[in-house]
């Protein structure tokens, strides 16, 4: 079983100070150091809302309203996405 990630519903993600972003061929590319990640439409929606003050649950509520999915599923998926982005050094978790 994988260890739980730090991006539960009450976590407040923020962009890393070293994070860079650029649009390329209609996609958002985010990078930190040598690591770069191409985000799809949902990933871009989430990343644009990572502001250091909105909780994962708050982002999930916005995503659920925009894409007609349940808030719980959205929060779980966002947590996993943010954990992946944290692994690339693009975002960080802050204490709730």
Q: Where are the chain's structural domains? A: 14-91
Q: What is the domain class of 14-91 according to CATH?
A: mainly alpha
What is the band of 96 on the pLDDT scale with cuts at 50, 70, 90? low
Percentage of the chain beyond pLDDT 90 is: 82
Q: In sequence order, what are the residues at sequence separation of 6 or more whose Cβ sits closer than 8 angstroms to the Cβ of residue 13?
A: 7, 50, 52, 56, 59, 82, 91, 92, 93, 94
What is the band of 53 on the pLDDT scale with cuts at 50, 70, 90? very high
Looking at residue 72, what is its pLDDT?
96
What is the band of 5 on the pLDDT scale with cuts at 50, 70, 90? confident
What is the band of 1 on the pLDDT scale with cuts at 50, 70, 90? very low
Looking at residue 20, what is its pLDDT?
93
> From residue 39, how far is each of 10, 24, 82, 92 by CA, in Å?
23, 11, 12, 17
């Amino acid at each position: 079983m994988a260890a739980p990630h730090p991006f539960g519903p009450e976590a407040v993600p923020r962009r890393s100070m070293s994070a860079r972003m650029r649009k390329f061929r209609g996609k958002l590319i985010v990078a930190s150091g040598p690591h770069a990640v191409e985000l799809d439409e949902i990933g871009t929606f989430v990343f644009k809302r990572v502001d250091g003050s909105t909780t994962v649950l708050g982002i999930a509520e916005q995503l659920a309203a925009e894409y007609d999915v349940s808030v719980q599923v959205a929060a779980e998926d966002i947590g996993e996405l943010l954990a992946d982005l944290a692994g690339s050094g693009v975002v960080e978790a802050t204490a709730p």
